[in-house]
């Protein structure tokens, strides 16, 4: 358990995990080494046997990685954390560490495209039963739990429709079952600054640290946090033997640096997104805005309850055909057409043809991802400049 429990978020994001090296370096150094020297054959044996703490080989841990892990764990109020080479590395490591052939995973139906692919095209090939249902219907979740259900999995807000799922309610349903069920939440869209699923009853949290945690668009990384025994299993089995999805010391260094400013970046992302969502909602060229901070958005009440602010992601549909949506993106000033999110730059993309192509057209329609849906990752630019760029673009849309 971290010793930062009584400190504020900003103090933890800067100091948790930090350790002075022999030279007193302020910033945790990049330990660019694959392996670590043992003082003796006996010491090597003791480390492998788990009888002595210390580093062995960088697939099993590295001091730069440890800083990230302790920091994220402190921010999520978790006992322990594990850093990985990508968000998918975190999700795959956490799921492979929790499931075996014959087990059942119950997941929400709206997931980042590659998570959807991992579950429906991946896990099913290895004898794991997968059911995807709408977790906004808690009664359905209750009915869908089976005797072999081992994991309940979801994102909230969901990528890209911003559907809200009540973490406390779903965790309570899963934990009421007459056998143990592990509740795993992807907290990428919120970060621990806006939402802490473990405090609401979840068992573990996964992140694409590529997004807000790092925040600068220059790293692909992931993290898992949870109870110490679960993280030990993820580290010494899931990551070491099954996925090998190890973060590099340099990426761990950048991630540690990015996380030191998480709260002030998130505040600006949220402010810019709220202003932009309000403008979009009032513009005649816009048919629908998907943003948890709009009081008439489904799930607003859940967002109010479990998030401290409403986040930096907005999706919306134009009151126009698909070609007009592409034309809008092609001529939009300031925003870059790119997948990913949580960067300083505002990014726009179309989930149906980009991030969510693992879904069939029928599956996209079922979860409400329309062909023309546009997702915005609202950046840290000056609010008025962003509003002006989107307004200019929208004013030119030929509405139906
Ligand atoms: O392996 P990654 O670091 O790219 O993370 C995977 C991932 C996991 N969970 C969520 C909620 C995510 O959004 C992602 C990555 N999503 C990007 C996006 O939606 O733009 C990936 C670009 S294809």
pLDDT digits (tens, 9 = 90+) for 81-120: 999 999 999 999 999 999 999 999 999 999 999 999 999 9
Question: 186-189 — which CB contacts under 8 Å span 24+ positions?
Answer: 186/87, 186/91, 186/111, 186/112, 186/115, 186/153, 186/154, 186/155, 187/76, 188/87, 188/112, 188/155, 188/159, 188/212, 188/342, 189/155, 189/156, 189/157, 189/159, 189/311, 189/313, 189/341
Which residues lie with the beta carbon below 6 Å from any ligand 1 atom? 86-88, 112, 114-115, 155, 159, 186, 188, 208, 210, 220, 222, 339-341, 355
Check whether 1 has a pLDDT greater than 50. Answer: no
Instruction: Please state, in angstroms and rounded to a whole number, the distance separating the CA atoms of residues 57 and 62.
Output: 7
pLDDT band at residue 4 under the 50/70/90 scheme: confident
Answer yes or no: 112 catalytic. Answer: yes
Residues 151-159 have a mean pLDDT of 98
Of the residues 87, 115, 160, which should be mutated to test ligand 1's pocket, given the most ligand atoms within 8 Å of the CB?
Answer: 87
For residues 358-375, give the mean pLDDT.
97
Which residues share a beta bridge with 349?
375
Please compute the mean of the pLDDT values over residues 51-60 and round it to a whole number: 98
Residues 23 and 163 in one domain: yes
Co-location of 240 and 278 in the same domain: no
Answer yes or no: do 17 and 128 share one domain: yes
Which of the listed residues 237, 259, 281 is the one where a domain comes to its end?
259
Is there a catalytic annotation at residue 71?
Answer: no
- Cα of 272 vs centre of ligand 1, distance in Å, is 22
Q: Is the same domain home to 273 and 253? A: no
Is 146 among the residues known to form the active site? no
Note whether residue 245 is domain-resident. Answer: yes
Strands across the sheet containing 222-226: 80-84, 222-226, 204-208, 182-186, 149-155, 104-108, 129-133
- Determine the pLDDT at residue 29: 95
Distance separating alpha carbons of residues 337 and 287, to the nearest angstrom: 21
How many Å apart are CA 71 and CA 257, to the nearest integer? Answer: 11
Averaged pLDDT of the chain: 97
Which among 159, 207, 346 is the best mutation to test ligand 1's pocket, defined by most ligand atoms within 8 Å of the CB?
159
Residue 276's Cβ-side half-sphere holds a number of Cα atoms within 13 Å equal to 36
- How far from each other are the two terminal CA atoms of the chain, in whole angstroms? 57
66, two tokens: 């440890």
Number of domains in the chain: 2
Asked if the structure places residue 39 within a domain, the reply is no
Residue 68 has pLDDT above 60, yes or no: yes
Interval 368-391: pLDDT, tens: 999 999 999 999 999 999 999 999
Q: Is the dihedral of CA 302, 228, 183, 189 positive or negative?
A: positive
- Cβ neighbours around 24 below 10 Å, total: 6
Strand arrangement of the beta sheet that strand 286-290 belongs to: 286-290, 313-318, 374-377, 347-349, 336-337
The pLDDT assigned to 321 comes to 85
Query: Which atom of ligand 1 approaches the CA of 89 most closely?
Result: 1
Helix intervals (H) in 24-79: 41-48, 63-75
Can you point out the beta strands (E) in 241-311? 286-290
Q: 234 and 368 share a domain?
A: no
Q: Which of 259, 293, 323 marks a domain boundary?
A: 259
> Which residue in 284, 308, 304 sits closest to 294, CA to CA?
304
Examine the domain organization and report whether 124 and 167 are in the same domain.
Answer: yes
Residue 251, token pair as written in the block: 């990426």
88 within a domain of the structure (yes/no): yes
pLDDT digits (tens, 9 = 90+) for 276-304: 999 999 999 999 999 999 999 999 999 99
- Tell me the mean pLDDT in the region 34-45: 98
List the beta bridge partners of residue 84: 222
Instruction: Choose, from 211, 233, 235, 265, the residue flagged as catalytic.
Output: 211
Q: Cα 225 from chain centroid?
A: 12
Residues with Cβ within 8 Å of 203's Cβ and at least 6 positions away in sequence, in order, are 171, 182, 183, 184, 226, 227, 230
| Together in a domain, 214 and 91 | yes
Q: How far is CA 117 from CA 19, 88, 92, 206, 303, in A?
A: 39, 11, 11, 17, 27
* Strand bridging mode 222-226 / 204-208: antiparallel
Among 29-38, 167-176, 317-326, 347-356, the minimum mean pLDDT is found in 317-326
Does some domain include residue 102?
Answer: yes
Structure tokens at 374: 């546009």
The answer to whether residue 49 is domain-embedded is no
CA distance 156 to 319: 26
Q: Are residues 255 and 359 in the same domain?
A: no
Domain limits at 267? 262-395
pLDDT-derived band at 398 (thresholds 50, 70, 90) equals: confident
Q: Choose the weakest-confidence range: 324-328, 338-342, 347-351.
A: 324-328
3 C-alpha to ligand 1 centroid (Å):
31
Which residue, judged by its Cα, is nearest atom 17 of ligand 1? 340
174 plus 309 within the same structural domain? no
CATH at 241: 3.40.640.10
Ligand 1 midpoint to CA 349 (Å): 13
Q: Which of 84, 114, 335 to mutate to test the pocket of ligand 1 (most atoms within 8 A of CB)?
A: 114
* pLDDT for position 2: 47
Question: Are 245 and 239 a contacting pair, CB within 8 Å?
Answer: yes
- CA 64 to ligand 1 centroid distance, Å: 23
Q: Measured in angstroms, how far is the CA atom of residue 54 from the centroid of ligand 1?
A: 32
Q: How confident is the model at residue 310 (pLDDT cuts 50, 70, 90)?
A: very high
Same domain membership, residue 156 and residue 216: yes
Nearest ligand 1 atom to the CA of 210 is 3
Last residue of a domain, one of 259, 276, 306: 259
Confidence (pLDDT) at 275: 98
103 and 245 both lie in a single domain: yes
Against a cut of 0.75, is the pTM above it? yes
Q: What is the CATH number of the domain that holds 364?
A: 3.90.1150.10
Q: For residue 145, is it within any domain?
A: yes
Q: Note whether 326 and 231 are same-domain residues.
A: no
DSSP 223-247: EEEE-HHHHHHIIIIIIIIII--PP
pLDDT at site 19: 87
CA-CA distance, 275 to 55, in Å (whole number)?
48
**What band does 42 get if pLDDT is binned at 50, 70 and 90?**
very high
Neighbouring C-beta atoms of residue 139, cutoff 10 Å? 8
More reliable by pLDDT, 19 or 205: 205
Question: Looking at the domain assignment, is residue 41 inside a domain?
Answer: no
Contact 165, 135 (CB under 8 A): yes
Is 211 annotated in the active site? yes
> Per-residue pLDDT averaged across 239-267, rounded?
98
Q: Per-residue pLDDT averaged across 264-274, rounded?
A: 98
In a domain? residue 56: no
């Amino acid at each position: 358990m971290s010793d930062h429990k009584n400190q504020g978020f900003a103090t933890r994001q800067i100091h948790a995990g930090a350790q002075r090296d022999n030279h007193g370096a302020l910033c945790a150094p990049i330990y660019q080494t694959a392996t670590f020297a043992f003082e003796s054959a006996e010491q090597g044996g003791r480390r492998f046997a788990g009888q002595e703490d210390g580093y062995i080989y960088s697939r099993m841990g590295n001091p730069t990685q440890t800083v990230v892990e302790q920091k994220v764990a402190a921010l999520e109020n978790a006992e322990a954390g594990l850093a990985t080479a990508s968000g998918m590395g975190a999700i795959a490591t956490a799921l492979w560490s929790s499931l075996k052939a014959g087990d059942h995973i119950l997941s929400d139906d709206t997931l980042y495209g590659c998570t959807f692919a991992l579950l429906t095209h991946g896990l099913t090939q290895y004898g794991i039963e997968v059911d995807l249902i709408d977790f906004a219907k808690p009664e359905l979740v209750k009915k869908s739990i089976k005797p072999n259900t081992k994991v309940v999995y979801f994102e909230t807000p969901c990528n890209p429709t911003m559907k809200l799922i009540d973490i406390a309610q779903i965790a309570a349903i899963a934990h009421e079952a007459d056998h143990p069920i592990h509740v795993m939440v992807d907290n990428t869209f919120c970060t621990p600054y806006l939402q802490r699923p473990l405090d609401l009853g979840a068992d573990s949290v996964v992140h694409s640290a590529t997004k807000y945690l790092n925040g600068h668009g220059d790293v692909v990384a992931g993290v898992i946090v949870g109870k110490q025994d679960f993280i030990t299993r993820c580290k010494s089995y899931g990551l070491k033997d099954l996925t090998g999805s190890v973060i590099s010391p340099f990426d761990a260094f950048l991630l540690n640096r990015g996380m030191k400013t998480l709260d002030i970046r998130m505040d600006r992302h949220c402010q810019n997104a709220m202003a932009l969502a309000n403008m979009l909602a009032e513009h005649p060229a816009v048919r629908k805005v998907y943003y948890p901070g709009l009081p008439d958005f489904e799930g607003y009440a859940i967002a109010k309850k479990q998030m401290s602010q409403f986040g930096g992601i907005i999706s919306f549909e134009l009151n126009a055909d698909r070609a007009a949506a592409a034309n809008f993106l092609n001529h939009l000033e300031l925003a870059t057409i790119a997948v990913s999110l949580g960067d300083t730059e505002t990014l726009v993309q179309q989930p149906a043809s980009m991030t969510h192509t693992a879904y069939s057209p029928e599956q996209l329609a079922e979860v409400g991802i329309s062909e023309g849906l546009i997702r915005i990752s609202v950046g840290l630019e000056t609010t008025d400049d962003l509003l002006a760029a989107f307004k200019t673009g929208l004013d030119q849309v030929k509405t139906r």
